Amino acid sequence: MNNIVEELENQLKDVNDQIRDKYLEQLRESTCLVTFTKKDGTDRVMKCTLVSEQIPQEMVPTTDGNITKVNKSVVKAFDVENQGWRSFRVDSVKEFTSV
């Protein structure tokens, strides 16, 4: 039984990784509307992007050479309405559309 559960958990992780990759791909190409459930249980609609031309120069991330561990269950994106970086959990998304 434990082997079956472990296999299903691995499959779910793989699917969530693929979904995250698709979200990132869309965010790099356009602005998207993402409806998701926040940690506090409330729903939020966020208009966000990863298109560098839509992110103010002073808000574009820079690197100092240090490598940070990526949390694959979370997507970080620039909120174009609130002009700041926000994140959402892949498994909390209710709707994701390009605008």
Using one digit for the tens of pLDDT, what is the confidence trace for 15-48? 999 999 999 999 999 999 999 999 999 999 999 9
Q: How far apart are the C-alpha atoms of 58 and 11, rounded to whole Å?
A: 39
Domains annotated on the chain, with CATH: 2-58+72-98 (2.30.30)
At 91, phi and psi to the nearest 5?
-80, 0
Q: For 64-92, write each residue's pLDDT tens digit.
A: 767 778 888 999 999 999 999 999 999 99
The overall pTM is greater than 0.95? no
